[in-house]
């Protein structure tokens, strides 16, 4: 991995944490449940940089959400581990999808919404398992019930749909694609 790719991954990871902080501070759905748009940066890294870039970006972008929903929230230290893993799964999946389909051809932006939803499936399954089976071992079950899990999963699907529109727009934007491609081209053309 060269320094340009590493810079892109770190930049997207930082962007993911900033996007989380903004949405967390402005979008409280309920106590302990807040909007989280950090996956935008993870999806960009996965769709444009591939599975490794998506995975690493997801792990980085999950740090601040992990702290806020983990030790600083109700999830304890398990949140600090679980949230980065979930975001890493989305980045990995979007990268695998991107390498399977050539998303950089014209009209592929129409696939942005369904592919974003498909990229979230592993994280969605992980999130459900995390809240339904793993977290109850560490926090009192009266805090975490079926209604809370349903609220979290519904909120996540709505967020992913919104992010799908953003990703579709970015997949169709030549200027953005050229900018991102600059980080992943092996050979640079001299001007």
Mean pLDDT, all residues of the chain? 87
- pLDDT tens for each residue of 116-157: 999 999 999 999 998 888 888 877 655 566 777 888 899 999
Question: In terms of C-beta density within 10 A (0-12 exposed, 13-18 middle, 19 or more buried), how is residue 76 classed?
Answer: middle
The mean pLDDT value for 2-10 works out to 93
Report pLDDT for 191: 40
What's the predicted TM-score (pTM) here? 0.89
The secondary element (H helix, E strand) that includes residue 34 is strand 33-34
Contact 60, 14 (CB under 8 A): yes
Q: Does 190 have pLDDT greater than 50?
A: no
Q: If we measure between CA atoms, which residue out of 82, 84, 90 comes closest to residue 139?
A: 82
Report pLDDT for 142: 57
Q: 112: which 2 tokens?
A: 């942005």
- pLDDT tens for each residue of 45-71: 999 999 999 999 999 999 999 999 888
The Cα–Cα gap between 134 and 8 comes to 33
DSSP category for residue 101: T
Contacts 24+ apart (CB under 8 A), 157-160: 157/117, 157/120, 157/124, 159/35, 159/36, 159/37, 159/39, 160/39, 160/116, 160/117, 160/120
The mean pLDDT value for 151-180 works out to 92
Q: Does 184 have pLDDT greater than 70?
A: yes
Domains of the chain: 3-181 (1.10.1760.20)
Tell me how far apart the terminal alpha carbons of the chain are, to the nearest angstrom.
Answer: 24
Between helices 39-49 and 174-184, what is the axis angle to 10°?
A: 70
Report pLDDT for 75: 75
Phi/psi of residue 2, nearest 5 degrees: -85, 175
The phi-psi region of residue 73 (left if phi > 0; otherwise alpha if psi is between -120 and 50; otherwise beta) is beta
């Amino acid at each position: 991995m060269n320094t340009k790719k590493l810079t892109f991954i770190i930049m997207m990871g930082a962007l993911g944490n900033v996007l989380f902080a903004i949405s967390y501070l402005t979008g409280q759905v309920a106590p302990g449940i807040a909007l989280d748009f950090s996956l935008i940066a993870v999806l960009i890294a996965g769709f444009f940089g591939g599975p490794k870039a998506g995975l690493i970006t997801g792990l980085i972008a999950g740090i601040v959400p992990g702290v806020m929903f983990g030790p600083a929230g109700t999830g304890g230290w398990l949140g600090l581990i679980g949230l980065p893993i979930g975001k890493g799964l989305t980045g990995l999946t979007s990268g695998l999808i991107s390498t399977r389909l050539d998303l950089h051809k014209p009209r592929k932006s129409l696939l942005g919404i369904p592919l974003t939803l498909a990229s979230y499936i592993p994280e969605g399954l992980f999130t459900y398992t995390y809240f339904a089976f793993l977290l109850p071992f560490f926090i009192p079950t009266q805090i975490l019930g079926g209604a809370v899990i349903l609220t979290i999963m519904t909120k996540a699907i709505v967020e992913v749909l919104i992010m799908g529109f953003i990703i579709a727009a970015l997949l169709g934007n030549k200027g953005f694609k050229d900018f991102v491609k600059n980080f992943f081209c092996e050979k640079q053309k001299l001007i």
